[in-house]
Amino acid sequence: MTSTDAAKLTADLIRCPSVTPEEGGALVLLEDLLSGAGFTCARVDRNGISNLFARWGERGHAKTFGFNGHTDVVPVGDAAAWSVDPFGAQEKDGILYGRGATDMKSGVAAFAAAAIDFVSDTPPDGSIVLTITGDEEGDALDGTTALLDYMVEQNEQMSVCLVGEPTCPNEMGEMMKIGRRGSLNAFFKFTGVQGHSAYPHRANNPVPVMARLMDQLSRHTLDEGTDHFDASTLAVVTMDTGNPATNVIPAECRATLNIRFNDAHSGASLTDWMQTQVDALAAETGVQIDLQVKVSGESFITPPGMLSDLVAAAVEAETGRTPELSTSGGTSDARFVQHHCPVVEFGLVGKTMHQVDEQVPVTQIHQLKAIYSRILSDYFS
């Protein structure tokens, strides 16, 4: 039987310094490996971002299982704070260290190894597609979206997809994601009239207006949660005047907030709500308030059913745990895939992702490969 070592592949990928947006050799390595195993591969690079599409089997087959993941990583930060070379892939006492060890070169290695072994040993009646991007940790404008655009152009199709992001908070197998909250950032600019702080009546101070609006928005209860989501959250993340003087009322100040929202809202409905509050306060105070909103992703849910049951059964068989079906956490590229086909996420314990000395137990990499292998076997059986 074929046995591709997912831990060794993880280490090889860690040694590729693929800090967003650099490819770093990671996709070249994977393309060589997958091509050698009979996968049809194509680089889908766009606007300087590197992406890889790989398919085994017939194009557009009615039964096509997809995996999605990324090889780009966040910067290492203070390299001197690391106890190991961030790109050295050092293993100590059964722990593999390096940037991307958890998020998510181990996940990519596990599903690539599982797919290679599966098609080599038990070629299925169907197809397997791997979409691997170098732009998940960046702006995500030319990563998975470019791959999905390419698939439309080439008449490629996934029936279902599993994203291999870390999903377990503490123990392997305890959680999978069947959806994600939406996320938006709102940027406020307040423009009043500058003046001397001893003569406030001659100015129109935008700072109290900023504080009032941020308090007003943050005290508002957006919702109490929905069937599959916790309550939406709103957090004020910065308020700035850039004013070093104590005797000057500034003419301008700015604030930013972030909203993580469930399926009771959309980016558009939340924008309309904020604009209503802005218009009312601007009319009352005479301070001009400009609002700009950037929606990172809308909320989505893949209703529990065939796909989540398939993944949960494989996880339980390999770990002894029944994973919780969750929508918690931040955004992921599943927000793009959900427009293409049903999608869920399952991966490693994510406690050290983005941290100094990011690490993964080698046994977990092998366990993850075993889970992915079982999912493929059960899907095509």
List the beta strands (DSSP E) in the chain. 40-43, 51-56, 64-70, 91-92, 95-97, 127-133, 160-163, 175-177, 179-180, 182-191, 195-196, 233-240, 248-249, 252-261, 288-297, 300-301, 324-326, 343-345, 359-361
Q: What does the alpha-carbon distance between residue 354 and residue 356 come to, in Å, rounded to a whole number? A: 7
Q: What are the structural domains, with CATH classification, of the chain?
A: 6-180+299-380 (3.40.630.10), 182-297 (3.30.70.360)
Task: Characterize the bridge pairing of strands 64-70 and 160-163.
Answer: parallel
Residue-level pLDDT at 212: 98
Q: What is the DSSP letter of 110?
A: H
Helix (H) or strand (E) holding 208: helix 206-219
Residue-level pLDDT at 377: 98
Token pair listed for 4: 């591709």
Q: Are 301 and 327 in contact (CB under 8 A)?
A: yes
Q: Ramachandran region of residue 38, left (φ > 0), alpha (ψ -120 to 50) or beta? A: left
Q: What is the DSSP letter of 188?
A: E
Q: 48 burial class (0-12, 13-18, 19+ CB within 10 angstroms)? A: exposed
Residue-level pLDDT at 139: 86
pLDDT per residue, tens digit, the chain (381 aa), is: 779 999 999 999 999 999 999 999 999 999 999 999 999 999 999 999 999 999 999 998 999 999 999 999 999 999 999 999 999 999 999 999 999 999 999 999 999 999 999 999 999 999 999 999 999 998 899 999 999 999 999 999 999 999 999 999 999 999 999 999 999 999 999 999 999 999 999 999 999 999 999 999 999 999 999 999 999 999 999 999 999 999 999 999 999 999 999 999 999 999 999 999 999 999 999 999 999 999 999 999 999 999 999 999 999 999 999 999 999 988 899 999 999 999 999 999 999 999 999 999 999 999 999 999 999 999 999
Q: Are 371 and 21 in contact (CB under 8 A)?
A: no
Token pair listed for 99: 């940037």
Asked about 12 being catalytic, the answer comes back as no
Both ends of the chain: CA-CA distance in Å? Answer: 18
Residue-level pLDDT at 329: 86
Asked about 72 being catalytic, the answer comes back as yes
Please choose, from the candidates 116, 128, 144, 113, the residue with its C-alpha nearest in 3D space to the C-alpha of residue 50.
144
Q: Are 132 and 23 in contact (CB under 8 A)?
A: no
Residue-level pLDDT at 110: 98
Q: Ramachandran region of residue 136, left (φ > 0), alpha (ψ -120 to 50) or beta? A: alpha
pTM value?
Answer: 0.90
Q: Are 53 and 42 in contact (CB under 8 A)?
A: yes
The CA-based dihedral angle spanning residues 334, 338, 339, 341, taken in that order and rounded to the nearest 10 degrees: 120
Per annotation, catalytic residue among 12, 72, 117, 345: 72
Q: What does the alpha-carbon distance between residue 147 and residue 124 come to, in Å, rounded to a whole number? A: 24
Residue-level pLDDT at 2: 77
Helices (H), 71-191: 105-121, 144-153
Q: What does the alpha-carbon distance between residue 207 and residue 132 come to, in Å, rounded to a whole number? A: 46
Angstrom CA distances, 245 to 196, 205, 355, stand at 10, 14, 38
**Residue with token string 């766009």:** 46
Q: What does the alpha-carbon distance between residue 369 and residue 378 come to, in Å, rounded to a whole number? A: 14
Q: 150 burial class (0-12, 13-18, 19+ CB within 10 angstroms)? A: middle
Per annotation, catalytic residue among 23, 31, 136, 345: 136
Angstrom CA distances, 236 to 57, 250, 303, stand at 49, 21, 32
Please choose, from the candidates 276, 270, 243, 241, the residue with its C-alpha nearest in 3D space to the C-alpha of residue 257.
270
